[in-house]
């Protein structure tokens, strides 16, 4: 029934031959009294891409936002359980959630550049809050924009308002903004669903490239995309109690060709109601 039971554990085949970057243990999420995700226990491999797929409303975004302590910022929202980031519990009362969000950055579905700020100022917002020097900021702008393949497109107009960029450019700018503070993990919630096919492919290429340095977790409704970009796939669905559960997790190639859980097969073949 829940991911704590032996019945579901057999469907979790994440690699155990390497130390996980993130180790999720019995993580739940509530909105008020309502449980949105049942206990999830899952290792997230380092410097690989883990995709999360599953039907609308099964808790993918809630799970993702729980991983960098964003969930708890909503009124009456809370988590239980543990998330270990390199052995450190992100929910430890001694741990500053701001530091957690710096180490575990996030990119959202809709590009959300800071209005009223320039392209360069969008990249440096986090560094400015840290008191970085002008030179450090300038270096971070070039480094981050190069990482997101945006540098050549915008280097001559760094002081233009960010909202003048196209949607795909804005999304790469938002990625550059999260990279500027040098995170270790990047959470992406349907980062390409608002973009056209060309901009989508660019984001996918970036995701694959960035995985050589970063651990990436990406939620997507596009199963071809999950197949193209990810090493591992986590299939979430609604459990019997109406909250999200992990129905299966493992190497992407296996999940899409030989899923162990019949529910996964129903979903990926489109038989899911």
Ligand X SMILES: Nc1ncnc2c1ncn2[C@@H]1O[C@H](COP(=O)(O)OP(=O)(O)OP(=O)(O)O)[C@@H](O)[C@H]1O
The residue ranges that bind Mg ion (CB under 5 A) are 61
Residue 237 is a binding residue for ligand X (CB under 6 A): no
Residue 56 is a binding residue for ligand X (CB under 6 A): yes
Residue 30 or 256: the one with the smaller Cβ distance to ligand X is: 30
> 145: which DSSP letter?
H
Residue 104 or 243: the one with the smaller Cβ distance to ligand X is: 243
d(CA 181, CA 203) in angstroms, rounded, equals 19
In whole angstroms, how close is the CB of 233 to ligand X at the nearest point? 15
- Which residue has 């180790």 as its token pair? 23
Binding to ligand X (CB under 6 A) within 66-125 occurs at 74
Residue 217: beta bridge partners?
50, 187
Residues 6+ apart with CB under 8 A from 112: 174
Residue 60 is a binding residue for ligand X (CB under 6 A): yes
In whole angstroms, how close is the CB of 227 to ligand X at the nearest point? 18
**Which position among 39, 45, 59, 168 is part of the footprint of ligand X (CB under 6 A)?**
59
Cβ neighbour number for residue 168 with a 10 Å cutoff: 20
Residue 48 is a binding residue for ligand X (CB under 6 A): no
In whole angstroms, how close is the CB of 245 to Mg ion at the nearest point? 16
Residue 126 or 244: the one with the smaller Cβ distance to ligand X is: 244
d(CA 84, CA 27) in angstroms, rounded, equals 11
3-class DSSP string for 117-138: CEHHHHHHHHHHHCCCCHHHHH
Q: Which residues in this chain contact ligand X in the complex, by CB under 6 A?
A: 31, 36, 56-62, 74
């Amino acid at each position: 029934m829940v991911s704590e039971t032996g019945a579901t554990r057999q469907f979790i085949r994440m690699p155990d031959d390497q130390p996980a970057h993130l180790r999720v243990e019995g993580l739940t999420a509530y909105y008020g009294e309502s449980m949105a995700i049942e206990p999830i226990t899952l290792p997230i491999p380092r410097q690989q891409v883990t995709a999360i797929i599953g039907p609308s409303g099964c808790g993918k975004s809630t799970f993702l936002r729980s991983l960098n302590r964003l969930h708890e910022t909503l009124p009456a929202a809370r988590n239980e359980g543990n998330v270990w980031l390199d052995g450190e519990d992100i929910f430890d009362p001694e741990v500053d959630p701001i530091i957690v969000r710096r180490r575990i950055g996030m990119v959202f579905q809709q590009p959300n550049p800071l209005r009223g700020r320039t392209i360069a100022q969008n990249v440096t917002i986090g560094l400015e809050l840290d008191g970085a020097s002008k030179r450090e900021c300038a270096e971070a702008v070039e480094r981050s924009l190069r990482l997101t393949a945006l540098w050549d497109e915008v280097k001559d107009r760094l002081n233009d308002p960010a909202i003048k960029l196209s949607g795909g450019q804005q999304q790469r700018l938002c990625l550059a903004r999260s990279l500027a503070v040098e995170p270790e993990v990047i959470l992406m919630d349907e980062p390409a669903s608002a973009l056209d096919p060309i901009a989508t492919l660019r984001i996918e290429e970036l995701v694959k490239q960035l995985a050589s340095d970063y651990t990436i977790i990406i939620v997507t409704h596009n199963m071809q995309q999950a197949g193209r970009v990810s090493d591992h796939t986590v299939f979430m669905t609604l459990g019997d109690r109406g909250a999200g559960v992990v129905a299966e997790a493992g190497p992407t190639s296996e999940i899409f060709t030989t899923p162990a859980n019949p529910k996964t097969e129903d979903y990926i073949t489109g038989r899911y109601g």
